Structures are given as structure tokens and as C-alpha cells.
Amino acid sequence: MITGIFGKPYLRLEEHLDLSALPAVHEEICLALTKIPVDYTGGSHRSMGIVPPSLEGEPWVDYGEVIAAMTDAEFATFRELSDDPRGIDPARRHELTFGEERDVPLSRRQMLWLEARFGVYFPWKVYVELMPNRWWGDKADPEGKVWSRTARAFFPKTIAFAESLPFVAVGRCNIMGLHANDFGTVHRDADPATEAPAPFITIAPAGNKRLFLWDEDTRTKHPVEGRAYWFNDGDYHGVDPDPFFRYSIRIDGDLRPELLEALQ
């Protein structure tokens, strides 16, 4: 079953937001992506324990599983590729966790090596944190968060647009892009039984990213449509493959009471 928000599987937000800046934001993002370094993300959903049971047997390679199974020699190479090798004690490797939301974030070189050497599948190969956030748990909290220098230099229209949205304050903002033919692995970001829907808005400027909610009971997909929406990321969700690059922007922060009232 899908938990949704306010009795709906997801909420389309187009009629509640001013999206007139989106064509210019889209042009800015596509051009900026040619000028800045980008990261990968995803790639460890199964070892994070957040994929639906029916899809646990999918063949894509998960870096959490790969790192745990590395020989000492492989781990030594992996450590050398870190941005801070001395921060990783090989004797404690099985106590440490690596990657997004873990003790030790992956470096770009480690991601590329995990992909090339072990076949790890990173669904989102264009990942840009415009307002970096270390821990998932404080993504709605603006305390101590700033737009990155790169964001301010290359994404001024995107920042202005994000700040125009009905948030009390922005706590996190990132661009998530998928290469042609790649798909977003189905996962959930919270447990809907114990957590209220996280407040955030997804913007798909080109309207061409095929997000879906996954009903694990019926094993069916429910498409999420539109250029602006809020879905419950405690519901399983994934992105269908398409023969072209596409991306979305996710902005986290507490939503203004007026918007919540209107949506309710």
C-alpha cells in the first residue's frame, strides 16, 4: 500500500507555486552542469535495508556489500582513493560505514573505482549539492546551512527560485540527474509507520523524469506526474529508465503553514 500525504498518493503542487522561472532555471542548470564537478549518489540502497523485499534480488551491485567483502589488499586501494586516507583505520574497517549518510563519505575516485572495478551501479550519476547537508535527519533544518560557493557562482537563478518557494527556510537543495537508460532503484527514505512525511518539494523543470511510487503489496507502480510535487518519501519510490538524460531538484525545509492549509 501507499501511505501518501493528506489522503492522496502524492500532491501535485503546480497550481500552488509560481513556476514561471523554470524555463530560465532549466537553461541555467543544463549549462552549469558542463562547468562543475558532479558526484554520484545512490548505489547502496540494498545494504542500507531500504529496498522493498520483493526487489531485494535485483542484480545491480551494491557498494555496501562490495566494501564489506573486499580483501585487505582491495580495501587498501579503496582507502588510498579516499579524500582522507589517514582518517580511515584499516584495523577498524568492519566497524566503519561508508557512503551517503555514513561515517565516511565516498570520494569521487572511490565511486569511480567501485563502478569500474566491482560493477557497482550508481543510479544518480549527476548529483550536485547546492546547499550541502551532512545528515539526512537535519535536512529540513536551515541551522548552519549555506548555499555553496559553486551554487552561488553557477546557479543564481536556481537559488532565487528555491528561495521563492513556500518554505519557512530552505535546509537542503540538490540536483539529481540520471543518464540515459539508467533507472532509479526502488527504495524508501523513511519508515512511514513511525515517521511523518518529510517536508520537501521536488521540481522537475523539464517535466520528463518518470518518478513512480511502488506499492509493495500489489507490486505495481503509480506514476508521479507534473513539474512540481510533494510525495511521501517513506513510500517506496523509483525512477523509470528513459532514453535521455533527465533530472530533478529536491528542496527540503519546513513548508509554510499557508501551503499546508491549502493542501489539506
In the bound state with Fe ion, the residue whose beta carbon lies nearer, of 184 and 205, is: 184
Least gap, CB of 41 to Fe ion (angstroms): 10
In the bound state with Fe ion, the residue whose beta carbon lies nearer, of 39 and 189, is: 189
In the bound state with Fe ion, the residue whose beta carbon lies nearer, of 78 and 230, is: 230
With b for 16 or more beta-carbon neighbours within 10 A and e for fewer, the 91-125 pattern comes to: eebeeeebbbeeebebbeebbebbbeebebbbbbb
What three-state secondary structure class fits 84?
coil
- φ and ψ of 132, to 5 deg: -60, 150
Least gap, CB of 227 to Fe ion (angstroms): 18
In the bound state with Fe ion, the residue whose beta carbon lies nearer, of 147 and 231, is: 231
Which residue has its beta carbon closest to Fe ion?
A: 189
Does 189 sit near Fe ion (CB under 5 A)? Answer: yes
In the bound state with Fe ion, the residue whose beta carbon lies nearer, of 28 and 189, is: 189
- Contact stretch for Fe ion (CB under 5 A) within 10-18, 20-28, 188-196, 219-227: 188-196
Least gap, CB of 107 to Fe ion (angstroms): 22
Vertex 129: Cα angle to 193 and 245 (nearest 5): 90
Quote the CA–CA distance of 162 and 248 in Å, as a whole number. Answer: 13
Task: For the segment 4-63, give every residue that binds Fe ion (CB under 5 A).
Answer: none
**By CB under 5 A, how many residues form the interface with Fe ion?**
1
Least gap, CB of 250 to Fe ion (angstroms): 9
Does 235 sit near Fe ion (CB under 5 A)? Answer: no
- Contact stretch for Fe ion (CB under 5 A) within 6-14, 48-56, 187-195, 239-247: 187-195
Q: How far is CA 54 from the centre of its chain?
A: 22
Least gap, CB of 237 to Fe ion (angstroms): 6
Closest to 166 in 3D by CA, of 110, 213, 228, 224? 228
Return the DSSP state at 218. T
- Contact stretch for Fe ion (CB under 5 A) within 17-25, 74-82, 97-105, 185-193: 185-193
Diameter over CA atoms, the chain: 58
In the bound state with Fe ion, the residue whose beta carbon lies nearer, of 74 and 242, is: 242
Please say whether the beta carbons of 197 and 5 come within 8 A.
yes
Does 252 sit near Fe ion (CB under 5 A)? Answer: no
- Contact stretch for Fe ion (CB under 5 A) within 32-40, 72-80, 183-191, 219-227: 183-191
- φ and ψ of 134, to 5 deg: -80, -45
Least gap, CB of 188 to Fe ion (angstroms): 7
In the bound state with Fe ion, the residue whose beta carbon lies nearer, of 189 and 252, is: 189
Measured between alpha carbons, how far is residue 260 from residues 121, 224, 264 in Å?
37, 19, 6
Q: Kindly calculate the radius of gyration of the chain based on its CA atoms and give it in whole angstroms.
A: 19
Query: Which cell is 237 given?
Result: 519510490
In the bound state with Fe ion, the residue whose beta carbon lies nearer, of 28 and 199, is: 199
Amino acid at 222: H
> Can you give the binding site for Fe ion, defined by CB under 5 A?
189
